[in-house]
């Protein structure tokens, strides 16, 4: 351990970085100075300034455990083959060194999925607002989260492709929704494959109040058929209110401030006046024709 600390001090790492390396990657004590230097040379070779290497290692000490030839260089080659420029790759690694934790081929799949999205243009613009590299990595993080909860990678990609708004949500928010789905609502994680919209709706405003209403009605025996996740999520606000809240006055308190449902008309009030045909003044000839016609009718 003392030799390892001396070696790290020789590379001018801060005491905070050395402590974090020993805590997060204790196998470092089995490495020699040449193995250390190979990782430092690699980081310098991709353009990371010497003064920033300390912070990169402190954020992600696991980099010291990756092989240069069989892991790090193939990963950088993949980024380059995808069309990313060296300075773009360098900046993303400095911003978030955990990018180097990706497996070879992961970001390629994520970028292909992003390029095939058929969502609304504003959503796609927000997804790519910080560049394709960061967008691809954000997809990877969400794929990993869904896989951690039990979805196959194929199903996780399907969920994100069909409900692309999830890419814009924080990981903590997505995790909270999944935990609620599995532990509280008692649905299987595979329900997300059938109803990916669940991850796209608001947790506090839609998921929780609707679930509370259904649970109350179920406890009172007010529901004959089992309410599935599709009905719980995909019903419009008005339809859910008419089905489950309006017939039961006590549910209005449970539904809370979300009970104020108004029917939207096809056109704003007063717009019908714009569709009224204009009135033209009658000429003398028109008046004569009208009088002669009325006399014949008499």
Taking only the tens place, the pLDDT of each residue in 264-295 is 555 555 555 555 666 656 677 777 777 776 77
Q: Would you give the DSSP letter of residue 118? A: -
Whole-angstrom CA distances from 44 to 41, 92, 209 are 5, 15, 53
Q: Residue 164 in contact with residue 127, Cβ under 8 Å? A: yes
How high is the pLDDT of residue 263? 47
CA distance linking residue 25 with residue 144, whole number of Å: 22
Q: What is the pLDDT of residue 290?
A: 73
On the CB side of 112, how many CA atoms lie within 13 Å of its CA?
7
- pLDDT value of position 261: 52
Q: Which of 227, 221, 147, 149 is nearest to 188 (CA)?
A: 149
Average pLDDT, the chain: 85
Q: How deeply is 213 buried, as exposed, middle or buried, from its count of CB atoms within 10 A (0-12, 13-18, 19+)?
A: buried
- Per-residue model confidence (pLDDT) at position 298: 58
- Token readout for 98 is 């955990």
pLDDT at 54: 86
Q: What percent of the chain clears pLDDT 70, i.e. is strictly above it?
A: 88
- Cα separation, 268 vs 241, in Å, equals 23
In contact, 139 and 110? CB cutoff 8 Å: yes
Q: Which residue has the tokens 């100075």?
A: 33
- Summarize pLDDT for 218-255 with one digit per residue, the tens: 887 767 667 788 888 888 888 888 888 888 878 878 77
Low-confidence ranges of the chain (pLDDT < 70): 222, 224-225, 256-282, 293, 296-298
Residue 135, pLDDT score: 95
From CA 108, how far away is CA 12, in angstroms rounded? 36
Q: Which residue has the tokens 């600390």?
A: 5
Give dist(CA 203, CA 195) in Å, integer.
15
Question: What pLDDT is recorded for position 256?
Answer: 67
Yes or no: say if 52 and 94 are a contact pair by the CB < 8 Å rule: yes
- Which two tokens mark 241? 């209110």
């Amino acid at each position: 351990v003392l030799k390892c600390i001396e070696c790290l001090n020789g590379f001018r790492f801060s005491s905070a970085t050395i402590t974090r390396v020993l805590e997060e990657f204790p196998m470092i004590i089995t490495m020699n100075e040449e193995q250390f230097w190979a990782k430092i040379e690699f980081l310098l070779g991709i353009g990371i300034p010497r003064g920033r290497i300390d912070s990169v290692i402190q954020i992600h000490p696991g980099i010291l455990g990756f092989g240069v030839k069989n892991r790090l260089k193939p990963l950088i080659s993949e980024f380059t083959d995808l069309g990313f420029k060296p300075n773009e790759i360098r900046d993303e690694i400095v911003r978030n060194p955990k990018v180097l934790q990706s497996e070879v081929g992961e970001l390629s799949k994520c970028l292909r999925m992003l390029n095939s999205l058929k969502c609304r243009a504003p959503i796609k613009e927000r997804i790519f607002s910080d560049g394709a590299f960061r967008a691809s990595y954000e997809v990877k993080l969400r794929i990993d989260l869904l896989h951690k909860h039990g979805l196959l990678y194929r199903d996780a990609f399907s969920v994100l492709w069909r409900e692309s708004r999830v890419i814009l949500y924080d990981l903590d928010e997505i995790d909270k929704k999944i935990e609620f789905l599995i532990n509280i609502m008692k649905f299987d994680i595979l329900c997300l494959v059938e109803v990916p919209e669940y991850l796209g709706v608001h947790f506090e405003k839609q998921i929780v109040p609707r679930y509370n209403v259904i649970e109350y009605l179920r406890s009172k025996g007010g529901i004959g058929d089992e309410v599935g996740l599709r009905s719980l999520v995909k019903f419009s606000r008005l339809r859910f209110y008419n089905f489950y809240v309006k017939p039961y006055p006590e549910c209005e308190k449970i539904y809370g401030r979300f009970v104020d449902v108004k029917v939207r008309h096809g056109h704003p009030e007063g717009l019908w006046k714009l569709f009224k045909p204009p009135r033209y003044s009658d000429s003398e000839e028109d008046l004569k024709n009208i009088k002669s016609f009325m006399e014949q009718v008499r």
